[in-house]
Amino acid sequence: DTGVSQNPRHKITKRGQNVTFRCDPISEHNRLYWYRQTLGQGPEFLTYFQNEAQLEKSRLLSDRFSAERPKGSFSTLEIQRTEQGDSAMYLCASSFEQSTYEQYFGPGTRLTVT
Amino acid sequence: AQKVTQAQTEISVVEKEDVTLDCVYETRDTTYYLFWYKQPPSGELVFLIRRNSFDEQNEISGRYSWNFQKSTSSFNFTITASQVVDSAVYFCALSDLGVYGNNRLAFGKGNQVVVIP
């Protein structure tokens, strides 16, 4: 049983560029979450998918952010026109709907915007 | 709104000592879950324990134990006989069922635990 995987692990980009991250959840998990973690802080919820439907978005998710989960499998998170304030660790987690509600996290994608 | 407070920022202990991490939470929900996660230097959050709001029984799992007190909204976590491999950031988290039953997590700021050999 493989865990949650995320790619790339690190991304350095220049301000104004677009970036896209990918998350592959645990195969039987139908719930998928994105969180953002800045230095010295706990993760903050960004968005949630149940199967292919994006059911909730945090106010942290500005118009420059978009997430998709086609076919209810992997998910992508795109940030357009990146800003230095977007520099953070982006974490993906998945869980099984009928489970006891714990979420399993991937290793994260560390974004640095220069 | 959900809120989790972990007052201590960094805790240093000598190997084999016990370490207790404090967590205080706020929620208006009657049904919720509490979690502790570990984040080692590699960065991946590792699930440790879970407790639901209906069960205040305190348990021990290996070297981990937890004390859930609903009356004081606290969910404290203890590592017994600490080891160097326990050095990490520990996060307390709270979830509710949300409108869509999505149990999004609200995390505290974390406790940096340093175990000195």
Q: Are A101 and B91 a contacting pair at CB < 8 A?
A: no
Percent of chain B residues topping a pLDDT of 70: 95
Q: Are A100 and B42 a contacting pair at CB < 8 A?
A: no
- Of B54, B52, B56, B4, the residue nearest B27 (C-alpha): B4
Each of the 114 residues of chain A gets a pLDDT tens digit; together they read 579 999 999 999 999 999 999 999 998 889 999 999 999 999 999 999 999 999 889 888 889 999 999 988 999 999 999 999 999 999 999 998 765 568 999 999 999 999
Concatenated DSSP letters of B10-63: EEEEETT--EEE--EEE-S-SSEEEEEEEE-TT---EEEEEEETT----EEETT
Q: What is the pLDDT of residue B9?
A: 82
Rounded to a whole number of angstroms, the distance between the first and last alpha carbons of chain B is 41
* CA–CA dist B90, A44 (Å, integer): 15
Rounded to a whole number of angstroms, the distance between the first and last alpha carbons of chain A is 37
pLDDT band at B26 (very low <50, low <70, confident <90, very high): very high
Q: Are A48 and B35 a contacting pair at CB < 8 A?
A: no
DSSP at A72: G
- 39-68 of B, contacting A, C-beta below 8 A: 42-47, 50
Is residue B110 within 8 angstroms of chain A, CB to CB? yes
Distance from A95 to chain B by nearest Cα, in Å? 10
Q: Cβ contacts (< 8 Å) between A108 and chain B: which residues? A: 43-44
Q: What is the pLDDT of residue A76?
A: 97
Q: Cβ contacts (< 8 Å) between B40 and chain A: which residues? A: none
B81-106 average pLDDT score: 87
* CA–CA dist A55, B97 (Å, integer): 13
